[in-house]
Amino acid sequence: MNQELLPNLFRSEYQKIVSVLCNLFGIHHIEIAEDIVSDTFLTASETWAIKGIPENPTAWLYTVAKNKTKNYFKRNDVFEKKIVTEIKYNSTLSNPEIEIDMSDKNITDSQLAMLFTVCNPSNSDEAQIALALNLLCGFGISEIADAFLSNKEVIYKRINRAKEKLKEENIKIQNPNPTEIKERIDTVLKTIYLLYSEGYYSTSQNTTLRKDLCAEAMRLVYLLIQNQTTNLPATNALMALMCFHSSRFDARITQNGEIILYQDQDESLWNQELIDKGTYFLSQSSSGNTLSKYHLEAGIAYWHTQKKDTPEKWQHILELYNNLIILEYSPIVVLNRTYALSKVKGKQESISEAEKLNLTNNHFYYSLLGNLYSGYDNKKALQHFQTALGLAKTTSDKNVITKNIDRLCLKD
């Protein structure tokens, strides 16, 4: 049997079937849905090993999942009495034979309903992300633990607590109406954005896993784009941002997982196809009059795909950073803005601006000062880099700073 087939099918189909069944059973019986689907994949691995792979593996999985669900209905008295009355397809009440709709449309609708359920603000951001990875992306507990640089126990508890919370709050799994979409799309986009960032900025050594995380985040945004009611300017802006970032995935990290700074990247490793897609989604995002932070970040990421250092480029980037920092304060945006300022206004002005920032416990702040002072006052630059080194915690951060110090000392 093809070694790759089953894991790939698991990744792509597990969450589809879980979504459809969850949508059918309701939030209180998520585990039953998960058990049925896990059991389906177990049956597949056993049967396929003996009888060979069926002609249409996906259809096979759907049929088996449907049968297992029906059997569950028949077997389980409690289930029948308590849940059949609650389930969605009311027409089936008069018809004892339950229909499980595995059409593309129902799969997409169910996934969308689950996405809005999982991204419920009653759970913390990290709990939402873990739950999304588990239920919507088919990630196992150990993969999630690896991505979060945490242990399985912690993640297992986090996911279970998150599920319990949704049950307590009696969150309905249903397709959100336009008013609900308006109210909740921000939370959904934020969770997907954080999920993406988890993959993109994770210090996990597992590059394949990090790429998978990013790809899953993009798949979820694409789900929103495919649906007319959630295909909003901010959704497209987020997609553009992810395309632009992902285009540099292979260029920004060495074989050993060390970060390569933007100015040192080999641009031939940038993925032009993703840049083009990002440009497309960015143009799609410009309809309407909303300007989300994703628009601004996508704009910044767009200008970064232009390798040539023109005054125009940095003027645009500074403008976008100005808007972004006015919209929402964040130390990392502050530092990036100051860097852009140095490109537009020169060292002197940006140093005096930088020294007004009160970020004295942040090693990136001292690295920035070190960079600004390099070639202007190298003695001061060295001092700042050394302060940064003292504050940095991870090995990859320390390596970058040490490289800067070495570079500075070579010049003297």
Partner 1 sequence: MNEFILIFRRDFTTKENQPSPEELQQHLKQWQNWFGSLAAQDKLARPLQRWDGQGKLVSKAKGVTDGPFVEIKESIGGLIIIKAKDYDEAAEIAQGCPVLNLGGNVEIRQAL
Q: Would you say 351 and 376 are in contact if contact means Cβ atoms under 8 Å apart?
A: yes
Extract the tokens encoding 343: 């490109």
Size of residue set near partner 1 by CB under 8 A? 16
Extract the tokens encoding 255: 């074989």
Segment lying near partner 1 (by CB under 8 A), choices 97-105, 249-257, 352-360, 398-406: 352-360
Q: Tell me whether residue 174 or residue 322 sits nearer to partner 1 (CB atom).
A: 322
Q: Tell me whether residue 21 or residue 333 sits nearer to partner 1 (CB atom).
A: 333
Segment lying near partner 1 (by CB under 8 A), choices 13-21, 57-65, 355-363, 375-383: 355-363
Could you tell me the smallest distance in angstroms from the CB atom of residue 119 to partner 1?
A: 25
Terminal Cα distance for the chain, rounded: 62
**Which residue blocks in 140-261 are alpha helix, DSSP H?**
141-147, 152-168, 178-201, 207-226, 233-247
Could you tell me the smallest distance in angstroms from the CB atom of residue 303 to partner 1?
A: 16
Could you tell me the smallest distance in angstroms from the CB atom of residue 334 to partner 1?
A: 5
Q: Tell me whether residue 326 or residue 410 sits nearer to partner 1 (CB atom).
A: 326
Q: Tell me whether residue 196 or residue 321 sits nearer to partner 1 (CB atom).
A: 321
> Applying CB under 8 A, which of residues 356, 379, 393, 411 lies at the interface with partner 1?
356
Q: Is residue 39 a contact point for partner 1 (CB under 8 A)?
A: no
> Applying CB under 8 A, which of residues 123, 338, 367, 404 lies at the interface with partner 1?
338
Token pair 């899953």: residue: 216
Quick one: which H or E segment has residue 404? helix 395-411
Within 302-346, strands assigned E span none
Could you tell me the smallest distance in angstroms from the CB atom of residue 331 to partner 1?
A: 9
Task: Measure the CA angle with vertex 315, ends 309 and 320; round to 5°.
Answer: 115
Extract the tokens encoding 145: 């633990």
* Burial of 372 per CB tally in 10 Å (0-12, 13-18, 19+): buried
- Taking each helix axis as running N to C, give the angle between helix 207-226 and helix 104-118, from 0 to 180 degrees, rounded to the nearest 10: 110
Residue 253 backbone dihedrals phi, psi, to 5 degrees: -135, 135
Could you give the CA distance from residue 401 to residue 386 in angstroms, rounded to a whole number? 8
Q: Tell me whether residue 37 or residue 318 sits nearer to partner 1 (CB atom).
A: 318
Could you give the CA distance from residue 32 to residue 149 in angstroms, rounded to a whole number? 29
Q: Is residue 351 a contact point for partner 1 (CB under 8 A)?
A: no
Restricting to residues 137-176, name those near partner 1 by CB under 8 A. none
Could you give the CA distance from residue 191 to residue 123 in angstroms, rounded to a whole number? 11
Restricting to residues 275-334, name those near partner 1 by CB under 8 A. 318-319, 321-323, 325-326, 329, 334
Could you tell me the smallest distance in angstroms from the CB atom of residue 300 to partner 1?
A: 13
Q: Tell me whether residue 118 or residue 334 sits nearer to partner 1 (CB atom).
A: 334
Q: Is residue 369 a contact point for partner 1 (CB under 8 A)?
A: no
Could you tell me the smallest distance in angstroms from the CB atom of residue 358 to partner 1?
A: 7
Could you tell me the smallest distance in angstroms from the CB atom of residue 339 to partner 1?
A: 11
Could you tell me the smallest distance in angstroms from the CB atom of residue 357 to partner 1?
A: 6
Residue 259 backbone dihedrals phi, psi, to 5 degrees: -75, 135
Q: Is residue 357 a contact point for partner 1 (CB under 8 A)?
A: yes
Could you give the CA distance from residue 390 to residue 356 in angstroms, rounded to a whole number? 21
Residues that bind partner 1 (CB under 8 A): 318-319, 321-323, 325-326, 329, 334, 337-338, 341, 353, 356-358
